[in-house]
Structure 1
Amino acid sequence: MHKYVKAERERQAQRYRARPHYEQRVNFSVGDYVLRSRVDEKLHANKLRVMWVGPYRVVGSADYYFTVEHLINGRTMDVHPSRLKMYADDSLNVTEELIDHIASQGTLLAVEAIVEYRMNSDMRAYEVKVKWLGLETVEDSWEPLKTMSEDVPQLLLQYATTTSDDVFRRAVTTAIDSKQSQRSTRR
């Protein structure tokens, strides 16, 4: 009985490996445009569900990953081939409309600097003007102090020390301290 079960299991495994989805050869070339899969925790609770973002241009390849370049900010990242799918070959005509579409996909941005602050009287809270890495100055945006204290506390604290406004500095340290105390109570 045991030999029969073992043999049957081996036949099942061979049938599974023979299916087309088991091993798909990656055929991206440098210059091709690809989409990258991203799991966005804020959009849904299902961690296996992904959102395809891009396109990105393939700028390099290695044994186990491809290097892709973001068309808006020019930043490169290494991505496993299973996280990529073909968008277009290297003959894609990158138009202004395509660039606008890519820019509006909710791409995660990095903070380059905090350049200004203000009190939002409607919200009764401080906001800081953020300069985003790789974006133009006209794309700077006002973000809530509380949010930035969670995302970039050291950069925010560094900026606050350059101001002469004691009330703003206290608001920054209070926001950072409250976030850190929340983290320590969760542990």
Structure 2
Amino acid sequence: MAMNPTDPLAVPDPIQVATLDEIQRNRKVNIERLKVALVDMHKQVTEDLLRHEAHNHEGHVVDSLLAARCNAQEKRHEVKVHWRGLAKDEDSWEPAAVLLQDVPVAVKAFVKAHRKDESVDVLGKALGLSLD
């Protein structure tokens, strides 16, 4: 593309010459400023925010399994889960088959410990778990 002689020319900024000592000194100053900013940033983090971050970082972590039911509408067995770091009002009914894949040891232990409960016994049989 041809340039028009009346177009303004881009003139670079003048080059600043620095010695190696000046560059290292500026680098140290920048590192110290970053350290101070990082400390200030960490002071602003609250305990609730830390718990929330830990929860999101780990995903939903099963704290305990509470009950079992057969959801006729969804045509599946479900287990009530208490999630680590969350309040009891945030407990939820989750598909038993998914929990068996995600936390098999917890599901098997729950079924074994509560096998006298009819809904848990039905759950164990539906999942094909031996109750021995």
Measured against the shorter chain, the TM-score band is: 0.5 to 0.7
Query: Are 2:100 and 1:149 equivalent residues in the alignment?
Result: yes
- Out of 39, 47, 55, the residue aligned to residue 30 of structure 1 is 39
1:147-170 deviations in whole A, cap 9, x for unaligned? 111110100110011222332212
Distance 2:74 2:63 in 1: 25
Identity of aligned residues (%): 27
Using the TM superposition, give the Cα deviation of residue 30 of structure 1 relative to its aligned residue in structure 2, in angstroms.
3.4
Q: Which runs of 5+ in 1 are unaligned?
A: 1-24, 34-55, 59-68, 77-102, 175-187
TM-score, structure 1 as length reference: 0.40
> Size of the alignment, in residue pairs?
92
Q: Which runs of 5+ in 2 are unaligned?
A: 1-30
Which 10-residue stretch deviates more, 144-153 or 105-114?
Answer: 105-114
From the CA coordinates, give the structure whose radius of gyration is larger.
2
Counterpart residue type for residue 41 of structure 2: D
Using the TM superposition, give the Cα deviation of residue 123 of structure 1 relative to its aligned residue in structure 2, in angstroms.
1.7
More strand by share: 1
TM-score, structure 2 as length reference: 0.55
1:42-64 deviations in whole A, cap 9, x for unaligned? xxxxxxxxxxxxxx939xxxxxx
Runs of 4 or more above 4 Å deviation:
25-28
- Out of 45, 49, 65, the residue aligned to residue 114 of structure 1 is 65
Instruction: Give the corresponding residue for 1:39.
Output: none
Query: Are 2:88 and 1:137 equivalent residues in the alignment?
Result: yes
1:82-105 deviations in whole A, cap 9, x for unaligned? xxxxxxxxxxxxxxxxxxxxx9x7
Using the TM superposition, give the Cα deviation of residue 71 of structure 1 relative to its aligned residue in structure 2, in angstroms.
1.2
Instruction: Give the corresponding residue for 1:171.
Output: 126
